[in-house]
Amino acid sequence: MLARAAEPSLLLIAPTGGGKTLAGFLPTLVDLAKSSHEGLHTLYISPLKALAADIRRNLTTPVEDMGLPIRIEDRTGDTSSARKKRQRADPPHILLTTPESLALLTSYEDAPRIFAGLKRVVVDEIHALAESKRGDQLMLALSRVQALCPDLRRVGLSATVEDPAAIASLLTRHPDPCEILLADPGPEPQIEMLQAAEPPPWAGGGAAYAIPAVMAQIRQHKITLIFHNTRAQAEIFFHNLWLANEEALPIGIHHGSLDRVQRERVEAAMQRGDLRAVVCTGSLDLGIDWGDVDLVIQVGAPKNVKRLVQRIGRANHRYNAPSKALLVPANRFEVIECHAALEAARDHDLDGEPRGSGPRDVLCQHILIRACSGPFQADALFAEAKTVGAYATLTRQEFEDCLDFCATGGYALRAYDQWQRLVERDGFWQLRDPRAARLIRMNIGTIQDSDLLKVRMKRARGGKPLGEIEEGFAASLTPGDTFLIGGQIVKYEGLREMVVEVSRDAARKPKIATFAGTKFATSTQLSQRILRLLAQPDHSMLPDHTSDWIALQANVSRLPEAGRLLIESFPHDGREHVCIYGFAGRNAQQTLGLLLTKRMEEMRLAPMGFVSTDYATLIWGLEPLKDAAGLFDKSALRDGLERWLSGNALMKRTFRATATIAGLIQRNLPQVRKSGRQATFSSDILYDTLVKYDPDHLLLDITRQEAMRGLIDFGRIEEMLDRIGSRIDLQRLDRVTPFAAPLFLEAGRTPVEGAAQERILEEETERLMQAAGLAR
């Protein structure tokens, strides 16, 4: 590290716990020990507030032991405003902060003075930031800081990634080179599939069958972490685990919807070694000392090999022993997926989806932040933005569109020229009303909470907070309903001032809680591996129950192949069914279901509904499919997409995020947080208005682009269509096939929309009026 201290950018890739954070600070400490320094010397950025506080403690001890005159402070959303004020007036030598707090610092008019003398910046866990808009915001903020301090040196610290060069190009000031240091990765991890007495079920994600085997593993290890893909699954598994926990081993739960106090309690108990196991989701991925964890269990297929490897790599590092992990497939198909993931991990074949160019909504926010700090020239800000790797290909036109959006709203109809948000005077852009800076600063950030409501025990004076649930889920509850949160079954009592009040309930079987937890789609690379595995002549490396199932499918119908598309058509239970094995991942298969049912409606096949998994979509309806080629015409599908997109809920959800980041919608207002008590209108109305009157607006353009990659994932449908060409195999069969059978058990069926929703609403309101005795 010291030998390379003068490099403009340096990326250090090492498994977690290898002391890489301290290594990142080494040049700073040497520099500060050698000679005194006025003001800020080094910035440290981490994705987590808790990590910043941890590092402050870990760094302060050796510095004080050596008697070095170095001031180290952290600055996050939790820091008091008095302290923040003092930090601005008199910055410490080393400031530990988060991307959002850094962006806020750059928004102050005295930013040049705050950052004067800054020499180095250390970006920790950059691999985690690289996958989100938080990383884009950070790099834009750093481009600003670098403009203030041209000699700034950058250091990135990353876990193992598939493409170090991609992370390096994010870190560096474009087009500066970035040297990459690869640390010894340590011994190979031991990953296996968990052997349970029972075979996994045909469908579902609960993995309840594996509870006894998992309990046995917990008994044999010091600390076991049990990862789940979704919060709901973690809750259910935790509940079932405790039902089987006869010795009452201390087992905790940790996920992003739980109250912060509860999460911190579990983290502290884990550090003290008081827990034998923690059921968790990705929220535990970062920021925890995993030293004593000696087993990682992943329940459900990992969906993404890179994430699996990063998780496993954290365990057991204290002893330089190999980390140990077990995969628990939740259903029969996941046995195949887990096997493919094991192979990929052994081959070091990590997956990564290319992220595309820098998101423009984040750029819009950056422009507003820049305006808060004082007048700026468009040329200079454009040049700065282009030094960020993700924005290196940004065109002047794209930049001007973003600037225009910030200044005037960017609408086709120019209504209120006198009320521009930004105005240009003598070649310098600035806030028309400097008081607007307050609102902009209050809304800095790119993290999107969907509308979550706090859950509390019902008490006379505010009971214990338990966590949060989605507003949509809360609205579907009626008093007396039970659901799981934080491992306990609670009864819904009512909603009071935007807090969900619950009481304890002794029921054994809850109505299931749904959380915002993302359902990850199986990565492209992993899907390809699964197809290759199916193509092998022999499947004896898989458990018998699974290889028999594959053999039966090959016998009855045929197996899906990489270069072809298998479609099965068969009658079942009085309905016609079509099963499409696209292997395009859950989101794309869901979109495919929506598009194909639209096409089938046009073809008068009377589709009624569909369900999707990561590998297939099952559609049911009244008429049999006889010709598949017409169904998969790429341009027809794209046309259908265009028509279907504009009214779609996923688009509206994507728009809400984009409009919030770009500053059209404020999450935080000076008085109080927006709540139902104030009469607010939803982002859906803005979306509908733009679609109707200004369909080419910048925010709609960004929304379409994001949705294509994210929730709608049309990119993977196109990738699939390119892969299969015209090689479509339509198998007409007289009954359900072995591979299609599990789809019948899958939850999350989507009825075909349109007239259906009005009809359901009519039925429901009539039922309610009858029940209330109000019917006429």
Q: How far is the CB of 244 from another protein (least distance, A)?
A: 29
Residue placing its CB nearer to another protein in the complex, 565 or 659: 659
Q: Where are the strands (E) in 519-660, listed by range?
A: 565-572, 575-581, 607-612, 617-621
Task: Return the DSSP state at 283.
Answer: G
Residue placing its CB nearer to another protein in the complex, 322 or 463: 463
Q: Is 677 in the site for another protein (CB under 8 A)?
A: yes
Q: How far is the CB of 711 from another protein (least distance, A)?
A: 16
Q: How far is the CB of 289 from another protein (least distance, A)?
A: 41
Interface pick for another protein out of 37, 221, 355, 421 (rule CB under 8 A): 421
Residue placing its CB nearer to another protein in the complex, 102 or 368: 368
* CA 754 to chain CA centroid, nearest Å: 30
Residues whose CB falls within 8 Å of the CB of residue 639, separated by 6 or more in sequence, listed in order: none
Residues whose CB falls within 8 Å of the CB of residue 91, separated by 6 or more in sequence, listed in order: 39, 40, 114
Interface pick for another protein out of 5, 48, 439, 733 (rule CB under 8 A): 439
3-state secondary structure 427-495: CEEEECCCCHHHHHHHCCCCCCCCCEEEEEECCCCCCCEEEEEEHHHHHCCCCCCEEEECCEEEEEEEE
Residue placing its CB nearer to another protein in the complex, 168 or 702: 702
Residue placing its CB nearer to another protein in the complex, 417 or 538: 417
Smallest Cα–Cα separation from 505: which of 452, 458, 453? 458
Interface pick for another protein out of 264, 377, 379, 693 (rule CB under 8 A): 693
The Cβ-side half-sphere exposure at 82, using a 13 Å CA radius, reads: 0
Total residues at interface with another protein (CB under 8 A): 53
Residue placing its CB nearer to another protein in the complex, 220 or 757: 757
Cα torsion at 675, 678, 684, 689 (round to 10°)? -150
Q: How far is the CB of 674 from another protein (least distance, A)?
A: 10
Interface residues for another protein in 95-134 (CB under 8 A)?
Answer: none
Q: How far is the CB of 647 from another protein (least distance, A)?
A: 13
* CA 200 to chain CA centroid, nearest Å: 27
Q: Is 416 in the site for another protein (CB under 8 A)?
A: yes
Q: How far is the CB of 478 from another protein (least distance, A)?
A: 7
Q: How far is CA 161 from CA 125, 154, 176, 306, 310, in A?
A: 11, 19, 21, 7, 8
Interface residues for another protein in 578-607 (CB under 8 A)?
Answer: none
Q: Is 686 in the site for another protein (CB under 8 A)?
A: yes
Q: How far is the CB of 717 from another protein (least distance, A)?
A: 25
Smallest Cα–Cα separation from 120: which of 154, 71, 157? 154
Q: How far is the CB of 230 from another protein (least distance, A)?
A: 17
CA distance 632 to 637: 7
Q: Is 535 in the site for another protein (CB under 8 A)?
A: no
Q: How far is the CB of 680 from another protein (least distance, A)?
A: 5
Q: Which stretch binds another protein (CB under 8 A): 47-55, 447-455, 683-691, 732-740?
A: 683-691
Binding mask 496-525 for another protein (x = CB under 8 A): x-----------------------------
Binding mask 451-480 for another protein (x = CB under 8 A): ---------------------x--xxxx--
Q: Is 413 in the site for another protein (CB under 8 A)?
A: yes
Residues whose CB falls within 8 Å of the CB of residue 770, separated by 6 or more in sequence, listed in order: none
Q: Where are the strands (E) in 522-643, listed by range?
A: 565-572, 575-581, 607-612, 617-621
Smallest Cα–Cα separation from 414: which of 697, 7, 775, 162? 697
Strand partners, 280: 227, 254
Interface pick for another protein out of 108, 202, 411, 644 (rule CB under 8 A): 411
Smallest Cα–Cα separation from 105: which of 69, 144, 133? 144
Residue placing its CB nearer to another protein in the complex, 406 or 567: 406
Residue type, 629: A
Binding mask 645-664 for another protein (x = CB under 8 A): ------------------xx
CB 452 within 8 A of CB 442: no
Residue 83's SS3 state is: helix
For 182, the token pair is 């690869």
Q: Which stretch binds another protein (CB under 8 A): 119-127, 186-194, 607-615, 758-766?
A: 758-766
Q: How far is the CB of 429 from another protein (least distance, A)?
A: 15
Strand partners, 575: 572
CA distance 354 to 645: 23
Q: Is 774 in the site for another protein (CB under 8 A)?
A: yes
3-state secondary structure 188-218: CCEEEECCCCCCCCCCCCCCHHHHHHHHHHH
Residue placing its CB nearer to another protein in the complex, 435 or 673: 435
Q: Is 680 in the site for another protein (CB under 8 A)?
A: yes
Q: Which stretch binds another protein (CB under 8 A): 60-68, 300-308, 312-320, 407-415?
A: 407-415
Q: How far is the CB of 434 from another protein (least distance, A)?
A: 9
Q: How far is the CB of 754 from another protein (least distance, A)?
A: 12
Q: Is 66 in the site for another protein (CB under 8 A)?
A: no
Q: How far is the CB of 403 from another protein (least distance, A)?
A: 13
Cα torsion at 165, 169, 174, 176 (round to 10°)? -40
Q: Is 761 in the site for another protein (CB under 8 A)?
A: yes
CB atoms within 10 A of CB 370: 24
Q: How far is the CB of 758 from another protein (least distance, A)?
A: 7
Length of the chain: 776
- Site of interaction with another protein (CB under 8 A): 408-409, 411, 413, 415-416, 419-421, 431-433, 435-436, 439, 472, 475-478, 494-496, 663-666, 676-677, 679-682, 685-686, 689-690, 692-694, 697, 757-758, 760-762, 764-765, 768-769, 771-772, 774
